């Protein structure tokens, strides 16, 4: 018991340190040692995912085998927690999760204060990093953790924690994660539509909150404000240009959209890939980028590039492109967990993920008292947020995001009937 707790706590310690890339190897071990009992039904569901992933394993050659293994390792924590969430939650009941989250998110608050000091000295878009470090998702990952921090503090009983939820929002804004801000607001609106009884008043509050965040960005970093406004205009203009009569190349299309267009082109050339996918690590997943030898090479593994990644993805994100100024913004990053699972594991793979997220939501909401509207709202919000942000970034392959997400979901269900 003591060893399991020590491994569990160490795993979370590295999430907030520059060593968090090690969590790729530590997190699977943590889950295997930490979770005590697995339900037979969940084991069968896990085997179902195995069948789906094997169906995508069509081109049996050395390159695909290596990519498939690395992809499976990176996705393991997300898939394990998604499928075995009941067993994981049951194991958490013997822990003081409230105390653990309180410590974890107060460390984040300290990080945010350090980040504000850094920003006051050097007002650059990515300077408010604190001691979080620049490995992994960098500012994007930190921004997502601030959203989790906001949810935790806002839903706590203490009025002082409500104040800290405000600071979590401020720190979130100072990450200048434009897509994250849009997804945050959209997730609140969707959660209101699903959960709130007085939708008009709730939508008004969300609009006020969105205006507040825009106000903070405008007065703290005007260049970032106009940069993000321009990105929004470019995004919608590019989407319209794809569907109207004009050719989409007549309009500047962010590479985050181009990678979706390239996926459609790939499926048109080979329609069977829509069902089966190209195989794990074969398109735009984190595994594909880590093994391509250009964006990021793992020195202890050989370079491994699939034809699909080389043809449809590498032209959008390579050292040649990144050497050009202002080409690495989030709208130009061809990352998306949603697309990577769809492209690499096929329609069956992404349908499985969507179904399992829905299953997680139904289970957790079923644990709440019927009158617990606040936690019900935030469970809907955080699951919607993680799903949509997964459409615009490859967060499902990062344990430092996935672990806190599941623990916050568990904590929100603290007024539960049974686990």
| Least confident interval from 19-23, 96-100, 224-228, 384-388 | 224-228
Neighbours of 15 (CB within 10 A): 23
Q: What local confidence, expressed as pLDDT, does residue 244 receive?
A: 62
Higher pLDDT, 205 or 66: 66
Residue 416 above 50 pLDDT? no
Higher pLDDT, 321 or 343: 343
**Of 346, 363, 280, 416, nearest to 41 (Cα)?**
363
Q: In the chain, pLDDT over 90 holds for what percent of residues?
A: 36
Q: Would residue 352 count as lying in a domain?
A: yes
Chain centroid to Cα 259, Å, comes to 18
Q: Which residues pair with 178 in a beta bridge?
A: none
Q: Would residue 181 count as lying in a domain?
A: yes
Segment of 73-77, 96-100, 221-225, 240-244 carrying the highest mean pLDDT = 73-77
Q: Would residue 313 count as lying in a domain?
A: no
Q: What local confidence, expressed as pLDDT, does residue 222 receive?
A: 66
Exposure pattern of 238-247 as b/e (b: 16+ CB <10 Å)?
bbebbeeeee
- 371 sits in which H/E element: none
Q: Would residue 49 count as lying in a domain?
A: yes
Provide the terminal-to-terminal Cα distance of the chain, rounded to the nearest Å: 19
Give tens-digit pLDDT for 73-86: 999 999 999 999 99
Structure tokens at 375: 């936690």
Residue 212 above 60 pLDDT? yes
Q: Would residue 52 count as lying in a domain?
A: yes
Higher pLDDT, 143 or 125: 143
**Of 184, 175, 180, nearest to 209 (Cα)?**
184
Q: Quote the mean pLDDT of the chain.
A: 82
Residue 64 above 50 pLDDT? yes
Mean pLDDT calculated for residue range 251-263: 83
Residue 136 above 60 pLDDT? yes
Percentages (nearest 5) of helix, strand, coil residues in the chain: 75, 0, 25
Q: What local confidence, expressed as pLDDT, does residue 308 receive?
A: 92
Mean pLDDT calculated for residue range 130-140: 81
Q: What local confidence, expressed as pLDDT, does residue 419 receive?
A: 38
Q: Would residue 281 count as lying in a domain?
A: no
Residue 357 above 50 pLDDT? yes
* Residues 67 and 306 sit within 8 Å (Cβ to Cβ): yes
Q: Would residue 353 count as lying in a domain?
A: yes
Q: Would residue 258 count as lying in a domain?
A: no
For 214, the domain range is: 1-228+337-418
Give tens-digit pLDDT for 369-395: 766 788 888 999 999 999 999 998 999
State the number of CA atoms in the 13 A half-sphere of 202 facing the CB.
18
pLDDT band at 189 (very low <50, low <70, confident <90, very high): confident
Mean pLDDT calculated for residue range 15-26: 81
Place of tokens 């644990």: 367
Q: What local confidence, expressed as pLDDT, does residue 418 receive?
A: 39
Give tens-digit pLDDT for 398-407: 999 999 999 9
**Total number of domains constituting the chain:** 1
Q: What local confidence, expressed as pLDDT, does residue 374 receive?
A: 84
Structure tokens at 40: 């037979």
Residue 219 above 60 pLDDT? yes
pLDDT band at 417 (very low <50, low <70, confident <90, very high): very low
| Least confident interval from 16-30, 91-105, 226-240, 349-363 | 226-240
Would you put residue 133 in left (φ > 0), alpha (ψ -120 to 50) or beta? left
Quote the strand ranges of 77-202, DSSP E: none
């Amino acid at each position: 018991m003591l060893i399991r707790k020590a491994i569990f706590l160490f795993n979370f310690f590295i999430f907030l340190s520059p060593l968090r890339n090690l969590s790729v190897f530590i997190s699977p071990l943590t889950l295997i040692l930490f979770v005590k009992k697995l339900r037979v039904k969940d084991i069968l569901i896990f085997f179902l995912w195995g069948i789906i992933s094997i169906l995508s394993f069509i081109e049996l050659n050395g390159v695909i085998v290596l990519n498939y293994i690395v992809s499976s390792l990176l996705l393991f924590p997300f898939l394990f927690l998604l499928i075995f969430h009941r067993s994981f939650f049951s194991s958490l009941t013997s822990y003081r999760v409230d105390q653990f989250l309180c410590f974890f998110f107060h460390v984040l608050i300290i990080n945010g204060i350090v980040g504000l000091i850094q920003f006051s000295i050097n007002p650059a878009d990515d300077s408010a990093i604190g001691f979080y470090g620049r490995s992994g998702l960098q500012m994007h990952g930190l921004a997502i953790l601030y959203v989790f921090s906001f949810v935790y503090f806002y839903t706590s009983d203490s009025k002082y924690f409500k104040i800290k939820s405000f600071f979590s929002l401020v720190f979130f804004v100072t990450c200048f994660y434009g897509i994250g801000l849009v997804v945050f607001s959209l997730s609140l609106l969707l959660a209101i539509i699903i959960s709130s009884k007085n939708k008009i008043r709730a939508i008004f509050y969300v609009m006020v909150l969105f205006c507040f965040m825009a106000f903070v960005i405008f007065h703290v970093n005007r260049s970032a404000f106009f940069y993000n406004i321009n990105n929004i205009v470019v995004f919608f203009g590019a989407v319209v240009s794809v569907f109207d009569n004009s050719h989409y190349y007549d309009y500047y299309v962010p590479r985050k959209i181009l990678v979706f267009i390239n996926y459609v082109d790939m499926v048109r050339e080979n329609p069977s890939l829509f069902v089966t996918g190209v195989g794990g690590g074969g398109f735009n997943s984190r595994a594909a980028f880590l093994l391509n030898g250009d964006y990021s090479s793992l020195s202890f593994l050989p370079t491994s590039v699939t034809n699909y990644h080389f043809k449809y993805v590498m032209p959008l994100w390579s050292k040649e492109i990144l050497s050009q100024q202002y080409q690495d913004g989030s709208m130009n990053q061809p990352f998306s967990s949603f697309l990577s699972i769809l492209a690499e594991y096929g329609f069956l793979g992404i349908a499985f993920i969507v179904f399992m997220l829905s299953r997680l939501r139904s289970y957790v909401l079923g644990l709440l008292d019927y009158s617990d509207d606040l936690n019900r709202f935030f469970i809907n919000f955080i699951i919607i947020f993680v799903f949509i942000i997964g459409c615009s970034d490859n967060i499902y392959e990062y344990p430092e995001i996935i672990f806190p997400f599941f623990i916050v979901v568990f904590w929100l269900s603290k007024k539960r009937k049974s686990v």
